[in-house]
Chains A and B, each alone.
Chain A
Amino acid sequence: MTETLEYSPYPPIDPINFDLIIVGTGLSESIISAAASAVGKTILHLDPNPFYGSHFASLSFEDLISHLNSPPKYITATATATTDNSDYTTVNLIQQTIFSDAEFNSCNSIEESQFLRENSRKFNLDLAGPRALFSADKTIDLLLKSGAAQYLEFKGIDASLVYNTNEGLVNVPDSRGAIFRDKNLSLKEKNQLMKFFKLVQQHLGGNEDEKISEEDMESSFVSYLEKLGLPSKIKAILLYAIAMVDFDQENGGVCKDLLKTKDGIDRLAQYSSSVGRYPNAPGALLYPIYGEGELPQAFCRRAAVKGCIYVLRMPVISLLIDKVTGSYKGVRLSSGQDLYSHELILDPSFTIPSTPSLSPKDFSLQMLSHVDIKGMVARGICITRSSIKPDVSNCSVVYPPRSLYPDQVTSVRALQIGIESCC
Chain B
Amino acid sequence: MHGRPRKPLKEEDESVLSAKAEKLHSLQSQFLANHQNRIYTKEALDLSAKLLEINPECYTAWNYRKLAVQHNLSESNSDSDASLFDQELKVVENALKKNFKSYGAWHHRKWVLSKGHSSIDNELRLLNDFQKADARNFHAWNYRRFVTALMKISDEDELKYTEKVIGVNFSNYSAWHNRSVLLSTLFKRKAEGFSHKEKVLQEEYKYVHSAIFTDSDDQSGWFYHLWLIDQTVKNDAPLLVSSWPSHGANITLNGNNSLHGSGLSLLNSTLSDTKTLPVILCFNQAVEGVNSSTVVVKSELLKEDLVWKPLSTNNSSTAQVWVVYLNMGNMKLQLSKTYSIEINIGHSMGILSSNGYHYGAPSQITFEVCVQTAYTEPVDGQRGKLTSWKDNDFRKIDHFEESNPAVSADHHIPTTSNWCMEAIDEEITNFQDLSDCKIRKLTLARLLIALDLLSPQHDKRKNHTEEVLKLYTELMKLDPTHSLYYKDEHSLLLLQQITSSRESLIPYCHYYKDASETNTSYVCLRLQNLSLSRMGSFENLLWVQMLDLSHNELRSIEGLEAMQLLSCLNLSHNKFGSFTALGPLRLLKSLKVLNISCNELGSHSIDTRRYLCSSPLAHSEVFAWDRFEILCGSYSATKFWEAFLIFESLNLTDLNIAGNAVADENFASFIVKVLPTLKLLNDEEL
Inter-subunit contact B167/A180 (CB<8 Å): yes
A375 proximal to B (CB < 8 A): no
Complex alpha-carbon distance, A190 and B430, angstroms: 13
A177 contacts B167, C-beta separation under 8 Å: yes
- Mark the stretch among B213-221, B253-261, B499-507 that contacts chain A: B213-221
Q: Is the CB of B434 within 8 A of A191?
A: yes
How many contacting A-B pairs (Cβ < 8 A)?
Answer: 39
> Please, which residue of chain A has its CB at the minimum distance from the CB of B170?
A180
Q: Complex: how many Å from CA A182 to CA B213? A: 12
Tell which of A177, A179, A190, A191 touches B435, judged by Cβ atoms closer than 8 Å.
Answer: A191
Number of contact residues on B: which range applies?
10 to 19
Does A188 contact B433, Cβ atoms closer than 8 Å?
yes
Chain A 166-209 interface residues, beta-carbon cutoff 8 Å to B = 176-177, 179-182, 187-188, 190-191, 194-195
Chain B nearest Cβ from A174, distance in angstroms: 13
Q: How distant is the Cα of A194 from the Cα of B211 in the complex, in angstroms?
A: 11
* Residues of B with C-beta under 8 A to A180: 167, 170, 210-211, 214-215
- A-chain residues with CB within 8 Å of residue B168 when the two chains form the complex: 177
User: Which residue in chain A gives the minimum CB-CB distance to B171?
Assistant: A176
B7 CB, nearest partner CB in chain A, Å: 22
Nearest neighbor of A186 in chain B, beta-carbon distance:
B213
Q: Are B167 and A188 in contact (CB under 8 A)?
A: no
With A and B bound together, what is the CA distance between A180 and B167 in angstroms?
A: 7
A187 B167 Cβ-Cβ under 8 A: no
Q: Are A187 and B211 in contact (CB under 8 A)?
A: no
State how many angstroms separate the Cβ of A27 from the closest Cβ of chain B: 36
B209 touches A (CB below 8 Å): yes
List chain A residues, Cβ under 8 A from B435.
191, 195
B169 within 8 A of A: yes
CB within 8 Å of A: which B176-223 residues: 209-211, 213-216
Given A180-B167, A195-B435, do A187 and B210 touch, yes or no (CB 8 Å)?
yes
Contacts of A176 in B (CB 8 A): 169-170, 214-215
In the complex, A180→B214 CA distance in Å? 6
Asked if A181 and B209 make an inter-chain contact with CB atoms under 8 angstroms apart, the answer reads no
* CB-nearest residue of chain A to B217: A198
- State the Cβ distance, A189 to closest chain B Cβ, in Å: 9
Known: A191-B216, A194-B215, A195-B435. A177 touches B210 (CB 8 A): no
Number of interface residues of A (CB under 8 A): 12
B215/A187 in contact, CB under 8 A: no
Q: Within 8 Å CB of B170, what residues of A?
A: 176-177, 180
Point out the residues of chain B lying under 8 angstroms from A190, CB to CB: 210, 213-214
Does B213 lie within 8 Å of A187, measured CB to CB?
A: yes
Docked pose: A177 CA to B135 CA in angstroms: 15
Chain B residues near A181 (CB-CB < 8 A)? 167, 210
Interface residues of B in 421-439 (CB under 8 A from A): 430, 433-435
Bound CA–CA A23/B85 (angstroms): 71
CB distance from B132 to the nearest CB of A (A): 11
Q: How far is the CB of B423 from chain A (nearest CB, A)?
A: 15
- Are B213 and A191 in contact (CB-based, < 8 A)? yes
Decide yes or no: A187 and B209 within 8 Å by CB, A176-B215, A180-B214, A194-B215 being known contacts.
yes
Say how far B95's CB is from chain A's closest CB, in angstroms: 27
State how many angstroms separate the Cβ of B434 from the closest Cβ of chain A: 6
Interface centre among A177, A180, A182 (most CB of B within 10 A): A180
A177 to B218 alpha-carbon distance, docked (Å): 13
Tell me the complex Cα distance, A187–B211, Å: 9
Roughly how many angstroms separate A190 CA and B435 CA in the complex, as a whole number? 12
**A181 to B435 Cα, complex, angstroms:** 21
A237 to chain B, nearest CB (A): 14
Q: Which of chain A's residues have a CB closer than 8 A to the CB of B210?
A: 180-182, 187, 190
State A181–B168 Cα separation when bound (angstroms). Answer: 9
Q: Is the CB of A188 within 8 A of B213?
A: yes
In the assembled complex, the CB of A280 is this many whole angstroms from the nearest CB of chain B, namely 14
**B residues near A182, Cβ cutoff 8 Å:** 210
Chain B residues, Cβ within 8 Å of A191: 213-214, 216, 433-435
CB closest residue in chain A, given B216: A191
Among B169, B215, B216, chain A packs the most CB atoms within 10 A around the CB of B215
A211 to B489, CA, bound (A): 38
Contacts of B167 in A (CB 8 A): 177, 180-181
User: How far is the CB of B2 from the nearest CB of chain A, in Å?
Assistant: 15
In angstroms, Cα B216 to Cα A187, docked, is 11
- Min CB distance B196 to A, Å, is 22
Across the two chains, which residue of chain A brings its CB closest to B221? A180
Distance (Å) between the CB of B488 and the closest chain A CB?
Answer: 30
Chain A positions 326-350 with a Cβ under 8 Å from a chain B Cβ: none
A191 to B430 Cα, complex, angstroms: 12
Give the distance to chain B from A185, nearest Cβ to Cβ, in Å: 9
Residues of A within 8 A of B169 (CB): 176-177
**A195 proximity list for chain B (CB < 8 A):** 435
Contacts of B214 in A (CB 8 A): 176, 179-180, 190-191, 194
- Smallest CB–CB gap between A43 and chain B, Å? 48
Whole-angstrom distance between the Cβ of A361 and the nearest chain B Cβ: 64
Which A residues lie within 8 Å of B430 (CB)?
187
- Bound together, the chains give a CA A180 to CA B216 distance in angstroms of 12
Report the minimal beta-carbon distance from B170 to chain A, rounded to whole angstroms: 5
Q: Offer 19 A-B interface pairs, CB within 8 angstroms, sorted by A.
A: A176-B169, A176-B215, A177-B167, A180-B210, A180-B211, A180-B214, A181-B167, A187-B209, A187-B434, A188-B213, A190-B210, A190-B214, A191-B433, A191-B434, A191-B435, A194-B213, A194-B214, A194-B215, A195-B435
Chain A positions near chain B (C-beta within 8 angstroms) = 176-177, 179-182, 187-188, 190-191, 194-195
Apart from the given pairs A180-B210, A190-B213, A191-B433, 11 other A-B contacts in the complex at a CB distance below 8 Å: A176-B170, A177-B167, A179-B214, A180-B167, A180-B170, A187-B209, A187-B210, A187-B434, A191-B213, A191-B216, A194-B213
The 4 closest A-B pairs by CB, nearest first: A187-B213, A191-B213, A190-B213, A179-B214
